[in-house]
Chain A
Amino acid sequence: MMNTLLELSGVSVSFDGFRAINNLSFQIGEPELRAIIGPNGAGKTTFMDIITGKTRPDEGRVIFGEKSVSLLKMSESQIARSGIGRKFQKPTVFEAQTVRENLAMALSNPRGPFDVLLHRKTPTGAHRIEELAAEIGLIDHLTRRSGELSHGQKQWLEIGMLLAQDPRLLLVDEPAAGMTPAEREHTTDLLKRAAQTRAVVVVEHDMEFVRRLDCKVTVLHEGSVLAEGSLDHVTKNKDVIDVYLGR
């Protein structure tokens, strides 16, 4: 039995009367790969917003790590520093900066302004950057501006930045959107490899991609968990078929 890394229990949040998340409970262990699926408006993005501190829930608990720290009191950057990385749906890399700069910014070094101001490049750091670049397949593009990269490469760069943070929990929002089949395969490998040492949560629409991830699946609907289990298991669930797949 693996340890529980993140646990949400009884979380609810509403915007102007609309319940985006409704008494949601969720856990993930370490290491684990988990896919989250659900129709539009099921609360997938809000779920991630709550974990990363962007949205404060109206009620419920969010607990992280062995020491069972509550994430609700922490700021976004504190949550990120305590080991939760997030990849947005749209690739958000710093397009005006080079691939190396992007990765360097994400490396898990002290984050205070004076640490950063007085930061000196170290051989270990350079080595780590190259390692990461090799992993995401951008070793030949380190000096390019990341704005010049292709869509898929940007996605990988962003995953690389997440890995550079050395997080214990990785939240990935639709990593395969807009990718060619070859790119998808690479992405699948990346995520699976990453999930060997840490917890990875993937939100995805694409069933084929989810199938290839070959992991436990959580189905969200109207802000709460509808079903959980292997993909085959949940696709046989009648409720799931009704609300999501059946349509």
Chain B
Amino acid sequence: MLRALIIALALCLPVSVAHAQSTGQSPTEDLQTVLQRHADEVANPGRRSVGDLIADLVGSGQPNVATFLERWQDKGVYQRSTDGLFFYAKRQGDEYALTNMTTGEPAGSVPTDIMTEIRPNGGVRRVIGAALVQFQLSDPDRARRVAALDAISRSPDADQIEPLRDSIEGEGDPVLRLRKERLAGHLRARFGKSTDDRIGAINELSSALDVETRSVLNLILTTTSEVAASVPEGTNVARILGVGTDISEAEAYARLVSANLAPAPIPRDAIKAALTANITDGRVGGIPVGQLGSEASRTAAYDALAAAGTVPPSVTAEIRRAALASNIFYDAYTEKDAAVTDAARAALDEVEARVARYQIIDISMDALSLASIYFLAAIGLAITFGVMGVINMAHGEFIMMGAYTGYVVQLFIPDYTISLLVALPLAFAVTFGAGVAMERLVIRHLYHRPLETLLATFGISIALQQLAKNIFGTQARPLTSPGWLDGAWVINDVVQIANIRIAIFVLALIFLGLILFVLKRTRLGLEVRSVTQNPGMAASMGINPDRINMLTFGLGSGIAGIAGVAIGLYAKVTSEMGSDYIVQSFMTVVVGGVGNVWGTLAGASLIGGLQKGIEFFNPSNTLAAQTYMILFIILFIQFRPKGIVALKGRAAGD
């Protein structure tokens, strides 16, 4: 009844509103007049009867009807008891400041006792709201239209279909128009008049991708857990559950109990309490208290009590089994129409298959950006390890130094873009210097003793970490990225990539190109490669291996500094950030194969992809994901001890 009324009302709404707005003719009746005609209804609106009033109001074509409806809904309308006129009023001290409804101008102040506040009840407010939606959907202010759409998606309702659909025609904003169309589809799918209408709408939804559409379809497919002796006529059964296969016995029995189809089992504590309450002469049900230390004797005692009628009988295994066997457990759709649920199921499957495809793309993107980070973090290590056979445990601390350099630069240069541009080369310079100093002072003396180098650099690592802690404190320092790196590149509802990750990817690409260029096309690269392959021969050809080692180490450390700035942009800068990356970097180098830029790239891709892949299957537990990844790497090393890109023969050096 009400629904029909509202629909009828809604149908005539757009015409009148459009009329009033387009012609601008002065209407015959002003607002107050219309209201006075329905004075009783305005003052005391009823959910069923208010329809006439609203229809009349809307029919009047007055421009301020929408404002009135809003104020009315918000309990801002008052009636003056002296003359029965309606005003907007605001309490000021002991008085109300009145506003003329028709003109919107102040109408003086009156004492509070002559004004009656009009309080429409919840049902009425909903009816008013539905009428308002129409106004809001066509409101010239875009923000209000968006708000109206938001309101509809928050609490969708059958009544909104028509006003929404009618507002599409006049919608000038293409984005909003799209949204309105989509929303109208959602409403039709859920509340459409006929089965065919709904199925049609549902079929249209199957080409969508967004979360809202998925939740609409899921809502249509909402099921309830049911149990009954036989499935009632007219139930839209989603599936029948087999006890022991689809549903555990305990769960099934709990359903029976909550459906009052079986007696509740008596929990252990309750049995114990019942036994305790019925101790007579040191015995319960004829069994001495001292013997009640086992489940079997307690059950016996309880059954004895139950046989005497002292306690309710316990649920025996036979009762359970019988109850379970004589009932059917099933999930039922709340939607009664099987055709609709079938269509929704098919549509949802299609949507989800598409979502899954996009998710794979999304994960690949994620994996790619993670791989870029690992590549940046590991490439410096790979260079020093490959060229000099030196494991630099302080590499992680060079990453940290780079990040702190970025942080300090930001303290002096407030513009984030400029500070970033300064920080990148500065971080390189700082860590390059630190690397060269370390090579000169420590590593040079430890060549051909790789394990000792490992330990000495570890000593430097703990010292540097603690130094950073002493200087910058234990709390994380922010390294703020410039505004243009904040957003994300949204491809669709499933695939989106943060700009910062794209930037890191580009940075990794640049460094890949740069390193390949330096190694393959420059004199330094030639010398580095010759020292890698045969230091003795290189030395005899006039290449100074000391200088090459120093520069290589500096280069590797410098790239770590750059990586530090990049990592600092999206993770916090702490004194311990280096140790978070060092093991992963080692893995990258080892898995990829030593002494080869492409190997490092392959290692980084494998580890990044693996980590994201495992996280996808086990998203709640990143710790477990890391555990599995490390185990995988340990196994991987078994089969390719020299990494993905392995050198063979004499170059392998074994």
Chain A residues packing against B (C-beta within 8 Å):
15-16, 18, 20
Contacts and interface: CB of A to CB of B under 8 A. Distances in A.
Contacts of B648: 15-16
A71 B649 CA distance: 20
Most chain A CB neighbours (cut-off 10 Å) among B648, B649, B650, B651: B649
Residues of A contacting B: mostly = strand
Contacts of B651: 16
8 contacts: A15-B648, A15-B649, A15-B650, A16-B648, A16-B649, A16-B651, A18-B649, A20-B649
Q: Give 4 nearest A-B pairs by CB, closest first.
A: A15-B649, A15-B648, A16-B648, A16-B649
Contacts of B649: 15-16, 18, 20
B459 to A, nearest CB: 25
Nearest to A14: B649
A18 B647 CA distance: 13
Contacts of A15: 648-650
Nearest to A54: B654
Given A16-B649, A18-B649, 6 more contacts: A15-B648, A15-B649, A15-B650, A16-B648, A16-B651, A20-B649
A54 to B, nearest CB: 9
A20 B650 CA distance: 11
A115 B649 CA distance: 36
A2 B649 CA distance: 36
A50 to B, nearest CB: 13
Nearest to B652: A15
Contacts of A16: 648-649, 651
Contacts of B650: 15
Contacts of A20: 649
Interface in B606-631: none
A15 B651 CA distance: 10
A20 B651 CA distance: 14
B237 to A, nearest CB: 64
B593 to A, nearest CB: 14
B598 to A, nearest CB: 15
Interface string B366-386: 000000000000000000000
Interface string B120-135: 0000000000000000
A173 to B, nearest CB: 16
Nearest to A55: B649
Interface string B34-69: 000000000000000000000000000000000000
B652 to A, nearest CB: 9
A18 B648 CA distance: 11
A18 B649 CA distance: 9
A16 B645 CA distance: 12
A132 B649 CA distance: 36
A191 B549 CA distance: 44
Nearest to B650: A15
B642 to A, nearest CB: 13
A56 to B, nearest CB: 12
